[in-house]
């Protein structure tokens, strides 16, 4: 299957700083990538759909000015958590569809801890 | 996407087959059944998917009822490493890859030594 990577795998930052998370499709091109967030003991919640070369589409209740998404190439999407606060501490996961579009593959996730 | 219903948890003895059920009574004709699993602190892992025929791969088998209103994921010989939350998802598969995946609460499978 297709491989999706994320970097970093974990990050600790101070409240008020910004954190950038990268999502890469390693062996395929993805015009669309998705960003999810998962709080402890909860299921994954979709945050936004990242479209190459255009603006991201955010789910209801997700602040687009706080969670900046850039999908500048067919293999890279970035999520920047701006002015992070402790309540933003979570597990962030990205996914991308392979060429057929039939299957989505997920990255290993990035654990963010805001102090 | 059609809604799915799964039992919240199941136990399975190591080495035995694990049968995980999923109900999707409102599935549409063009929606596939997908299974993913999430091992603790990792991203979801794709397992298998199907439309109407039963499917098998190196990881598992997927049995879909004739009316497509329910399905069963079978792990033929469960190991301790199969302990995870298993998600059953139904969605349209298209060439554009634009269809997002919506997760329910899944089934927490505990494989017991």
Q: Rounded to whole angstroms, how far apart are CA atoms A39 and A13? A: 17
- Banded model confidence at residue A59, pLDDT cuts 50, 70, 90: very high
**Is 70 exceeded by the pLDDT of residue A1?**
no
- Banded model confidence at residue B112, pLDDT cuts 50, 70, 90: very high
Outline where B1-113 has alpha helix (H).
Answer: none
Q: Rounded to whole angstroms, how far apart are CA atoms B23 and B45? A: 21
- Compare A46 and A30 and report the one with higher pLDDT: A46
Length of chain B counted residue by residue: 113
- Best residue in A28, A38, A46, A97 for a mutation probing chain B (most B CBs within 10 Å): A97
**Residues 6 or more apart whose Cβ sits within 8 Å of residue A42:** none
Q: What percent of chain A has pLDDT over 70?
A: 97
Q: Rounded to whole angstroms, how far apart are CA atoms B78 and B90? A: 24
pLDDT tens-digit map of B20-71: 999 999 998 888 999 999 999 899 999 999 999 899 999 999 999 999 999 9
pLDDT, residue B6, reads 96
Q: Is B45 helix (H, G, I), strand (E, B) or coil?
A: strand
Lowest-confidence pick of A34-38, A63-67, B88-92? B88-92
**Is 80 exceeded by the pLDDT of residue A43?**
yes
- Banded model confidence at residue B2, pLDDT cuts 50, 70, 90: low
Taking contacts as CB-CB distances below 8 angstroms, the residues of chain A near B96 are 31-32, 101
Task: Specify the pairing of strand A110-114 against strand A10-13.
Answer: parallel
- Banded model confidence at residue B1, pLDDT cuts 50, 70, 90: low
Retrieve residue A31's tokens: 């015009």
CA-to-CA dists, residue B30 to A95, B26, B33, B63, B102, angstroms? 22, 12, 10, 17, 16
| Strand partners of residue A11 | A112
Taking contacts as CB-CB distances below 8 angstroms, the residues of chain A near B43 are 4, 6, 93, 95, 106-109
Q: Rounded to whole angstroms, how far apart are CA atoms A71 and B6? A: 35
> Chain A window 6-65: which residues touch B at a Cβ cutoff of 8 Å?
6, 30-32, 34, 36, 43-46, 49
Backbone conformation region of residue A53, classed left if phi is above 0, alpha if psi is from -120 to 50, else beta:
left
Taking contacts as CB-CB distances below 8 angstroms, the residues of chain A near B42 are 108-109
Mean pLDDT of chain A: 92
């Amino acid at each position: 299957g297709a491989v999706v990577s994320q970097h970093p795998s974990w990050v600790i930052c101070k409240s008020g700083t910004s954190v950038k998370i990268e999502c890469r499709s390693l062996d395929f091109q993805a015009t669309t990538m998705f960003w999810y967030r998962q709080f402890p003991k909860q299921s994954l919640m979709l945050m936004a759909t990242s479209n190459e070369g255009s603006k991201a589409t955010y789910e209801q209740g997700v602040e687009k000015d706080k969670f900046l998404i850039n999908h500048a190439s067919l293999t890279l999407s970035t999520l920047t958590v701006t002015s992070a606060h402790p309540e933003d501490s979570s597990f962030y996961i990205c996914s991308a569809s392979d060429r057929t579009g039939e299957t989505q593959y997920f990255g290993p996730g990035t654990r963010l801890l805001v102090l | 996407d059609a809604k799915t219903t799964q039992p919240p948890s199941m136990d399975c003895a190591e080495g035995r087959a694990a049968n995980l059920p999923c109900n999707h009574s409102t599935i549409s004709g063009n929606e596939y059944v997908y299974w993913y699993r999430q091992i603790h602190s990792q991203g979801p892992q794709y397992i298998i998917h199907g439309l109407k025929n039963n499917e098998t791969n190196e990881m598992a088998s997927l049995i879909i009822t004739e009316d497509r209103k329910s399905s069963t994921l079978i792990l033929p010989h469960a190991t301790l490493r199969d302990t995870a939350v298993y998600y059953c998802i139904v969605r349209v598969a298209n060439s554009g890859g634009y269809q997002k995946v919506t997760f329910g609460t899944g089934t927490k499978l505990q494989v017991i030594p």
